[in-house]
């Protein structure tokens, strides 16, 4: 992978609309991976981000331990060096696919803009900037209460899907230590308070990381603005990324979900939670 070919790195908390944003970039000609999951995230970079977090005992919902990694220049440099080896190895084809292979060399020779989206980028960005100091960063934010509510709903759905794998009968249940399948995806995000605290931590971390990025190479937008005024926001994003507007916008129009904008205002529980959490929410520029 040509490390001098600067990527577009999409950051933003989980459930903040980064999937919609990254699909817009795809429709406009950017390349974001050959093998991707339902959230439009390249498995290759998911694996690398999880590997970074694993080095310090962190996880997507417990990013704090990465501070210890970042405080050591020697360790951070070692992590970045290993990432470089992964990127330049044949494993890079898991991202590029056969279309971009050049003979036996798996290096990427992209004819267009490229990058990747993964909410974990908000935590691991300082490491990636060591490899791609001139990368363009597109950061997306969303109201914390809507994020927390969406995380809680996702956790509830996960529990329902996995419940059938854990029989409760005395004769059929396996001891917990023998089970390899997780019962929960995130204990922290099972509550509104836990989800909101994680949202705040992500915003703090990406804000700190962006202080080292020149203003012309970073762009922060709000999910609410993207949904309510797509032409203006999308035009701004595409100009920043050096991309052309898609010839057919109907596919993107299908992704617009205006009803999800400030959905917390329509729910009594969420409104009460927002008022109780006013200090945290307003610190990040949102209102209650």
Instruction: Report the pLDDT value the prediction gives residue 126, as an integer from 0 to 100.
Output: 98
Range of the domain at 29: 8-283
How many Å apart are CA 120 and CA 118, to the nearest integer? 5
- Residue bearing the bigger pLDDT, 24 or 255: 24
- With beta carbons less than 8 A apart as the criterion, state whether 48 and 57 touch: no
Residue 102 lies in a domain: yes
- Phi/psi for 59 (5° steps) reads -150, 170
Q: pLDDT tens digits, residue range 193-226? A: 999 999 999 999 999 999 999 999 999 999 999 9
pLDDT over 60 (residue 180): no
pLDDT over 90 (residue 116): yes
The total number of structural domains in the chain stands at: 1
How many Å apart are CA 163 and CA 160, to the nearest integer? 5
Q: Count CA within 13 A, CB hemisphere, residue 28.
A: 23
- The 10 Å Cβ neighbour count of residue 59 is 16
Query: How sure is the predictor about 89, in pLDDT bands with cuts at 50, 70 and 90?
Result: confident
Give the position of tokens 């969420």.
270
Residue 197 lies in a domain: yes
Both tokens of 163, joined, read: 């419940």
How many Å apart are CA 42 and CA 21, to the nearest integer? 14
Q: In Å, how far are 97, 168, 170, 172 from 175, measured between CA atoms?
A: 42, 11, 10, 10
**Mean pLDDT, range 124-150, rounded to an integer:** 97
pLDDT over 70 (residue 138): yes
pLDDT over 90 (residue 96): no
Residue 1 lies in a domain: no
Residue 3 lies in a domain: no
Residue 193 lies in a domain: yes
Identify which of 94, 98, 103 has the alpha carbon closest to the alpha carbon of residue 44: 94
Q: pLDDT tens digits, residue range 28-85? A: 989 999 899 999 999 999 999 999 999 999 999 999 999 999 999 999 999 999 999 9
Residue 220: DSSP 8-state: E
Both tokens of 155, joined, read: 């956790």
Residue 269: DSSP 8-state: H
Instruction: Report the pLDDT value the prediction gives residue 287, as an integer from 0 to 100.
Output: 93
Mean pLDDT rounded to a whole number for the chain: 88
How many Å apart are CA 124 and CA 11, to the nearest integer? 10
**Mean pLDDT, range 96-116, rounded to an integer:** 62
Q: In Å, how far are 63, 131, 213, 219 from 70, measured between CA atoms?
A: 12, 14, 17, 24
Give kind and range of the element (H or E) at residue 223. helix 223-228
Residue 288 lies in a domain: no
Q: pLDDT tens digits, residue range 16-33? A: 999 999 999 999 989 999
Residue 2 lies in a domain: no
Residue 263 lies in a domain: yes
Q: Looking at residue 190, which CATH number applies to its domain?
A: 3.40.50
Q: Following DSSP, what letter does each residue of 110-170 receive, concatenated?
A: -SS-BEEE-TTHHHHHHHHHHH-TT-EEEEEE--HHHHHHHHHHHHHHHHHHHGGGS---T
How many Å apart are CA 81 and CA 52, to the nearest integer? 12
Query: How sure is the predictor about 165, in pLDDT bands with cuts at 50, 70 and 90?
Result: low
């Amino acid at each position: 992978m040509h490390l001098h070919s600067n990527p577009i790195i999409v950051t933003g908390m989980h459930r903040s609309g980064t999937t919609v944003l990254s699909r817009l970039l795809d429709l406009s000609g950017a390349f974001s991976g050959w093998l991707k999951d339902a959230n439009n995230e390249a498995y290759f970079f998911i694996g690398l981000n999880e590997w970074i977090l694993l080095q310090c005992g962190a996880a997507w919902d417990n990013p704090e331990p990465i501070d210890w990694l970042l405080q050591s220049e020697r360790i951070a440099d070692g992590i970045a060096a290993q990432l470089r080896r992964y990127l330049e190895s044949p494993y890079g084809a898991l991202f590029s696919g056969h279309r971009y292979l050049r003979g036996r060399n798996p290096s990427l020779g992209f004819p267009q803009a490229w990058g990747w989206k993964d909410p974990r980028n908000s935590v691991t960005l300082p490491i990636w900037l060591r490899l791609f100091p001139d990368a363009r960063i597109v950061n997306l934010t969303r109201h914390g209460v809507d994020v927390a509510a969406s995380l809680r709903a996702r956790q509830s759905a996960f529990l329902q899907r996995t419940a059938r794998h854990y029989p409760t009968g005395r004769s059929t249940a396996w001891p917990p230590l023998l089970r390899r399948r997780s019962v929960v995806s995130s204990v922290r995000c099972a509550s509104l308070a836990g989800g909101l605290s994680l949202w705040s931590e992500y915003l703090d971390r990406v804000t700190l990381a962006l202080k080292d990025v020149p203003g012309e190479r970073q762009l922060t937008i709000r999910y609410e603005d993207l949904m309510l005024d797509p032409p203006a926001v999308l035009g701004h994003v595409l100009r920043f990324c050096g991309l052309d507007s898609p010839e057919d916008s109907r596919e993107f129009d299908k992704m617009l979900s205006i009803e999800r904008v400030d959905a917390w205002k329509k729910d009594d529980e969420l409104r009460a939670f927002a008022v109780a959490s006013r200090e945290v929410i307003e610190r990040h520029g949102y209102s209650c």
